[in-house]
Amino acid sequence: MIEIVIHGRGGRGGVTLAKLVAGAYFLRGNYVQAFGVYGAERAGAPVQAFVRVDVEEITTHNPIAAPDHVVIIDPSLIAAERISGMRTSGVVVLNTEAEPEAFADVFPGRMIATVDANGIAVANRLGTQALPIVNTTILGAIVKIVGLQFSDAEAALENANFLGPNLEAARTAFELVRVQQLDGPILPSRPNVPVPALGFFDHAAGSPPTTRTGAWASHFPRGRELTPVCSDRCPAGNDVRGFLQHVIRRDYTAALATILKTSPFPGTCGRVCPAPCMSACNRKLLDEAVNIRDVERAVADNGVWPMQSAPGCRERVAVVGSGPAGLTAAYHLARGGHRVVVFEADAEAGGVLRRGIPAYRLPRHVLDREVEHILGSGVEIETSHPVDSVELERLGTEFAAVLVATGLNEPRGLDVGNSRKSAVVQAIEFLDSTCRHRIDLAGSTIVVVGGGNTAMDAARTALRLGARNVRVVYRRTRAEMPAIAEEIDEALEEGIVIDELLAPVCLRPGDDGTTLECRRVVLGEPDETGRRRPMQVAGPQAVVSMRCDKLMLALGQSPDMSILPQRAEMEGCRVLTRFGEALMFGGGDFATQEGTVAAAIGSGRAVAARIMAALANGTAEQEPDQQLAGPDVMSLGRFPLSAQHRCLLTPAAERRRSFIEVRRGLASKGSDAVVSEEAARCLSCGACNECETCVVFCPEGVLAADGPEPYSFDYDYCKGCGLCASQCPRGAIVMGPCSEVVSR
Amino acid sequence: MSRAFLTGNHAAGYALVAAGEANRGARGCCGGVYPITPQTEIIEYLSAARFSRGAIVPVESEHSAMAVCMGASLNGGRSFTASSANGLLYMVENVFAAGYYRLPIVTVVSNRTIGPPWNLWVDQGDSLALRDAPCLQFYCESHQDLVDTILVAFRVGEDARILLPALVAQDGFLLSHTQMVLDLPEQELVDRYLPPLDLAHRLNQAHPRTYGGMTWPRDTEKQREEIQDAMDLVPTVLEEALNEFASVFGRRPDGAFSAELTTDADTVLVANSTMVRTAREVVKSRRAAGERVGLVKAKLFRPFLRDQFEKAIGAARRVAVLDRNHSPGSGGIFWTEIATSLRTRSDVLLQDYVVGLGGIDVTPAVIEGILDDVQRRDGSVAPLFIPEAAL
C-alpha cells in the first residue's frame, strides 16, 4: 500500500488533489481511497487530505498516521512537524520557489522534491496572485516523484474534467520538479495522531486562524464612474456632476476650475444656455431637474478666477472671429502652450455674445470678465481687423494653423413686397445696432417674424427701446418655438403678444401707417426636421392684417462662406482645400450651424483639440465611449423628494423699460446657502459621492475609506455577495469576475 | 458491472437515480430534496440527473422534502431523499407519517452528530433517533454495501407484504466524502431487480379515498399490529431479496447480521458501519495470534431480528458491543436491543462500549483496547465511554 498525506489550507483544493492522485492510480487498475479532513476547511486552517493506493481492496477508514509521501501545497505550512510519523523511504514534495537544498535544516536526511507551483499556477491563470490554486500543478510533480508517467496525470485530469491551463500547469510541474536527497540523519518524530478539529477556538490560547474568505468569491465588486447624462448632453462637455459636488461644499473656486477645464464661459452659459443638461437630468423622473444653469452662474459669480498666464511659445495659431467658438478654441489652444492671435473685425471681442445677446440677458460686465480671463490666459487679440479671403490667405502664410469661427452672419430674408426698405430690418442687425448707437422706438408698433431666441431678443429689446406694441408672428405654434421656454414666458410677462400659425405675406403702406398682411397657417405632415410642415390657408377669410411700423426678420442665419476661396470644401471642422501653408479649420456655428452658445463652446474645444493633434501630427484622442448613468442604473426611489430652487426674476413692470438683468440667479448677493442646497439635489448619477450606503450594507465589513478611491474593497475577505453593488443608489459599483477585478 | 471511483454520496446518488429510472415504465420517480452537510453531494447528484420519467423537487426544508416524497409515493412514484443530523430530525414527523401511510420511500442518511455543539462528523445518533418510527434501518460498511443496500431497501420496502419506508445509513465523511473504488450496478440489471412499483393503495381517481383521516382507537391499534406483522415478515422478504440480488448481480450483500469467525469464538465483537471494517482487521490479527475471537456485523437495526442475533454470536460467552451513538440515561442503542435479544442467555457477559462519538476516530488501537477489556472483565458494567484519548 502507498499512503500519501497532503497538507494544505481549507478551500484551496487539497482534497481535489488527493482525488486526482488516487484517480491516476485508479485508472491504472489499482484500489484507491481519497478523503479529506472536513469541518475546519472554512477556517482556512491547515488541513490534510489522504490518499491510499493498493492492489487489494482497502478496508481501513482511519487517517494516515505513517505516510510514505508527504505533500505540502501551501508554502506557509512547510515545517518539520508536517512529516511527523512519515516513513523513511518516501519523498517530501514542497510547493516553493526554493531549491531542495534550502531545507537541509528542516528535513535533514529526507528526499525532497520542490516545485514553484504558485508561480506555475499564476502563469497559467489558475487562481490569482494572492490566492493561486495549485492542486493540478502539484499533481504533475507528484506523478513524477512516485514514478508514474505524465500520461497518468493527463488521464486523471481528463477524467475529472480539468483541461486547458490545468493540464499545462501539471506538465510544467512534471518537467520542472527538482528532487534531491538531503544529507544528515533523519530527525526522530513522534507518531502522527491526527485529531479532528473541534470547531471552536479557545481564545485564551490565541486567535482563531485567519480566514481569507475572498477565496470563496467568484465575482468581486469594484467602483466605477459612469458618464452622467447631464455631462453627456452638455454641448460644451462640462463636468456638471463634478462642479456640483464642489458647490455642495461651497467650494466655488474648485467648481469654477472644474468648469474652466472645458468652458471659459461659465457666467455666460449660466445665463443664456438652453441647458440641455437640465432636460436630461435623471432627477426629472423623481421631481424636478437640478437647476444646473443657475448653479453654474453662481459658480462664475462666487468663484475666484485663476491667475493670468503668459502666451505660449509652441506653434502660432490664428483664430478668425472672437465669438464663443473662436474664444473657446483660442483659450484651449493657449492652455495647450500655443501662441494664439484672435482677429476680430469689431472694435471689441465677444462676437454674438456682445452684439447679438441683449444686456438684460447677459450683462456686459459678465462678458467682459470672461473675455478678460481668456485674454489673460495668453491669448492675443487684434480687434478692428476684418479678415476676408485675401487676408485669410495671408494669415495662412504667417501661422501654422488658422481657425475660421466667424459664426452666422448671413440672415435669411423674406419677400414682403416692394415696401419701404426702412420698414423691414433684420433682427440680428437691429440687435447689433442697439449696441452701437441709441435707438428710440417710442410709440411704434413692431412685428418680429420668427420663433427663435433672436426673435425674442429683438422683440424684448424693441419693447425696452420704447415700442408701444410688440408682436411676434410665428408660423408654427408656441410648442414648436426653438427659443428657450423661459425667454418666451418672460416676453409674455412683459406684454409681448405672440401670434401663432401666421405667415407674413405683404407689407402695405397706408394712410395711417404700414399694415402687415399675414395668412393663416395649418400644420401638415412632419417635415425632415420632425416638425409639422406649415401650410398657408387659401381664401380671403385666411388673411389677417396688423399694424406694423417696423418688421423685424428673425428667420435664422447662415455662415458667410465668402471668406473661403471659391469651391473650398469642408469636412467637419477641417477645411479640405489647402491655401497658404497653414492647416485650415472651421469652428463654431461657421462649421456646425448649431446656433447655441454652448454648442459653439463645445465646437471650439473640439476643434482646438483637432488643431493641437494636427500640429503634433497625430489624431485627436477620441474620448472613450463611456456607459451612461441613465435611469436604468439609478435607484431613484431611494432619494427623498425636494423641489427645485428657482431663479429670482426682476419684476416684469420694472424690466419693460430698462436693460436691467432679468434673471438674478438663485440668491441675492451674500447668501449662497440656497445655491449649495440646490447643488445638493444632484443625485451624483454614476459616481460615488461617499453616501456610505455600501458600507452600511456590506455584511463582511470589507469596505474601507482609507485609499485614494472613495472606498476600497478588501478582496482578501470579500465573498462577492454583491449587496454593495445592488444597494448603491447611483450605479457606482459593479460586479465582475474576480480575476478581472483584481488584475485591474 | 462497471468499476468506478466515487464518493459514498455520489455512489448513493447513482443508486437512487438507477432505482428511480427503473420505475420509468410505471409511474416514474420523484425526490423532494433539501441539502445538509455531509449529505449535500447526494442532492447535487440527484439534481443533475435527467430522468426518463421523474423529477427532483428542491424545497425549503427537510420536512417538506419528505412531504414531496409522500405525495409522489402515494401516486405510485418511486420516491427517495437524503438527510443528516438536525435536518433529519426536522424531517422526523413526516418519516413517521410515511411509515404509517405505508409508503416505501428510501432515505439515505449520511450519519452526522446532532448539534449543539455544532459538529459535522459521523455519529449515528441522528438515524437512531428514529428508532421508534415505522421504518426499516440499514447500516452500511462500504461504498459497495451502500449502493447494494439502497437497491435492496427499495425491493424489500416495496414488497406488498412490507410496504414500509427505509433508512439506509452511511458514515458521514468516512464514506460520504471518501472516494473509493466500487462496482456500479448497470441500469439494465437494476431494471431487472426492481420491478415497476405497483402500490395497491395508491391514489386512484376511479376509486376516490381519504388517507390519514380520523379513526377510532381500535382501527389505529389494528394499523400498528399490521405494521408489526409487516416487520415480522422482513426476515423472509429480505432473504428473498438478497437471493434475487445474488442471481441478478452475481454478489450477495450482507443480511441483517453477518457472523464472521464466530463458530468457536469465546469473545465476539458486535459492530456496524465502517467500524466493522476496522474491527474485522483486528479480529483477523487476533485470530492469527491464536485468540478465539469473532465478529458480528449488525447491518439491519429495524426490525431488530433478535433470534438471528442470538444465533449469530454462537457459543460465545463474552460479547462486546461497539456503539457509535448514545441514548442519554440508557447507553449504546444497539446494546439495548442486543440486551433484550440475549435476555435468556445468562451465560453471556455483555458489555457496551460507546465509541467514536462526534466523529472521534475509531482506530485499530481503540478496538484492541476494547477486546482486551472485555476479555479480562469479571462482569459487565454500565456502558463504558471509550474516548480515543483514553487508550
Domain boundaries, chain A: 2-181, 214-225+688-742, 227-306+624-679, 316-409+571-615, 417-426+444-558
What's the gap in Å between the CA of B181 and the closest CA on chain A? 6
Identify the CATH class of A2-181.
alpha beta
Is B342 at the interface with chain A, CB within 8 A?
no
Q: Determine whether the interchain pair B361/A194 forms a contact, defined as Cβ–Cβ distance below 8 Å.
A: yes
Q: Note whether B244 and B269 are same-domain residues.
A: no
| Percent with pLDDT over 90 in chain B | 92
The secondary structure of residue A192, as a DSSP letter, is: -
Which of B215, B249, B283 corresponds to the end of one domain?
B249
Q: Determine whether the interchain pair B178/A63 forms a contact, defined as Cβ–Cβ distance below 8 Å.
A: no
Query: Which residue of chain A is at minimal alpha-carbon distance from B117?
Result: A199
Q: Note whether B229 and B276 are same-domain residues.
A: no
Q: Determine whether the interchain pair B277/A60 forms a contact, defined as Cβ–Cβ distance below 8 Å.
A: yes
Using DSSP's 3-state secondary structure scheme, residue A200 falls into coil
Is A58 at the interface with chain B, CB within 8 A?
yes
CA atoms of A529 and A129, how far apart (whole Å): 57
Q: Note whether B275 and B211 are same-domain residues.
A: no
- Counting one residue from A and one from B, how many pairs have CB atoms under 8 Å apart? 68
pTM for the whole structure: 0.58
The secondary structure of residue B331, as a DSSP letter, is: B
Q: Are B135 and B98 in contact (CB under 8 A)?
A: yes
CATH of domain A417-426+444-558: 3.50.50.60
Q: Which residues contact B154 (CB under 8 A, 6 or more apart)?
A: B19, B78, B104, B106, B166, B194
Q: Note whether B44 and B110 are same-domain residues.
A: yes
Using DSSP's 3-state secondary structure scheme, residue B74 falls into helix
Q: Determine whether the interchain pair B179/A35 forms a contact, defined as Cβ–Cβ distance below 8 Å.
A: yes
CA atoms of A601 and A599, how far apart (whole Å): 5
Q: Which residues of A touch B38 (CB under 8 A)?
A: 38
CA atoms of A66 and A51, how far apart (whole Å): 12
Tell me what pLDDT residue A198 has.
41
Q: Determine whether the interchain pair A196/B359 forms a contact, defined as Cβ–Cβ distance below 8 Å.
A: yes
CATH of domain A316-409+571-615: 3.50.50.60
Helical spans, DSSP H, in A160-202: 165-176
Tell me what pLDDT residue A42 has.
54
pLDDT at B31 over 50: yes
Closest alpha carbon to A357 in A551, A597, A553, A593: A597
CATH of domain A214-225+688-742: 3.30.70.20
Q: Which residues contact A414 (CB under 8 A, 6 or more apart)?
A: A424, A449, A504, A553, A555
CA atoms of A104 and A496, how far apart (whole Å): 100
CA atoms of A24 and A170, how far apart (whole Å): 13
Helix axes A165-176, A135-145, angle to 10 degrees: 40
Count the domains in chain B.
2
Q: Note whether B236 and B366 are same-domain residues.
A: no
Q: Determine whether the interchain pair A32/B175 forms a contact, defined as Cβ–Cβ distance below 8 Å.
A: no
Candidates A35, A53, A198, partner chain B, best to mutate (most B CBs within 10 A): A35
Q: Is A557 or B33 the better-scoring residue by pLDDT?
A: B33
Which residue positions in chain A have pLDDT lower than 70? 39-45, 130, 189-211, 418-421, 566-568, 576-581, 619-625, 668-670, 744
Which of B190, B224, B249 corresponds to the end of one domain?
B249
Phi and psi dihedrals of B181, rounded to 5?
-90, 135
pLDDT at B106 over 70: yes
CA atoms of A476 and A125, how far apart (whole Å): 65
Which residues span the domain enclosing B310? Answer: 257-389
Using DSSP's 3-state secondary structure scheme, residue B182 falls into strand
CA atoms of B83 and B167, how far apart (whole Å): 10
* Degrees, nearest 5: CA angle A433-A436-A437: 90
Query: Which residue of chain B is at minimal alpha-carbon distance from A49?
Result: B178
The secondary structure of residue A82, as a DSSP letter, is: G
Q: Note whether B209 and B341 are same-domain residues.
A: no
Phi and psi dihedrals of B270, rounded to 5?
-115, 125
CA atoms of A469 and A492, how far apart (whole Å): 12
Amino acid at residue number B318: R
Tell me what pLDDT residue A195 has.
43
CA atoms of A666 and A706, how far apart (whole Å): 36
Tens-digit pLDDT profile for residues B330-356: 999 999 999 999 999 999 999 999 999
Q: Is B8 or B215 the better-scoring residue by pLDDT?
A: B8
The cell numbers describing A540, all together, are 380671403
- Can A214-225+688-742 and A316-409+571-615 be said to share one CATH topology? no
Q: Are A25 and A81 in contact (CB under 8 A)?
A: no
A545-554, A719-728, B154-163, B197-206: which has the highest mean pLDDT? Answer: B154-163
Q: Which residues of B touch A15 (CB under 8 A)?
A: 177
CA atoms of A235 and A569, how far apart (whole Å): 25
CA atoms of A12 and A6, how far apart (whole Å): 12
Q: Determine whether the interchain pair A196/B360 forms a contact, defined as Cβ–Cβ distance below 8 Å.
A: yes
Tens-digit pLDDT profile for residues B165-188: 999 999 999 999 999 999 999 999
Q: Is B128 or A719 the better-scoring residue by pLDDT?
A: B128
Which of B228, B249, B270 corresponds to the end of one domain?
B249
What's the gap in Å between the CA of B82 and the closest CA on chain A? 20
Tell me what pLDDT residue B268 has.
97
Is A25 at the interface with chain B, CB within 8 A?
no
Tell me what pLDDT residue B87 has.
98
Q: Note whether B88 and B167 are same-domain residues.
A: yes
Tell me what pLDDT residue B353 has.
96
pLDDT at B306 over 50: yes
The domain that holds B364 is classified in CATH as: 3.40.50.920
CA atoms of A360 and A460, how far apart (whole Å): 9
Q: Note whether B113 and B213 are same-domain residues.
A: yes
pLDDT at B194 over 50: yes
Query: Which residue of chain A is at minimal alpha-carbon distance from B182?
Result: A31
The domain that holds B51 is classified in CATH as: 3.40.50.970
Which residue among A18, A22, A62 sits closest to B363, beta carbon to beta carbon?
A62
Query: Which residue of chain A is at minimal alpha-carbon distance from B171?
Result: A61
Tell me which H or E stretch contains B188.
helix B187-193
Strands (E), A75-159: 91-95, 111-115
Q: Which residues contact B63 (CB under 8 A, 6 or more apart)?
A: B90, B91, B93, B94
Q: Note whether B181 and B279 are same-domain residues.
A: no
Burial pattern B247-269, b for ≥16 Cβ within 10 A else e, equals: ebbeeebbbbbbbbbbeebebbb
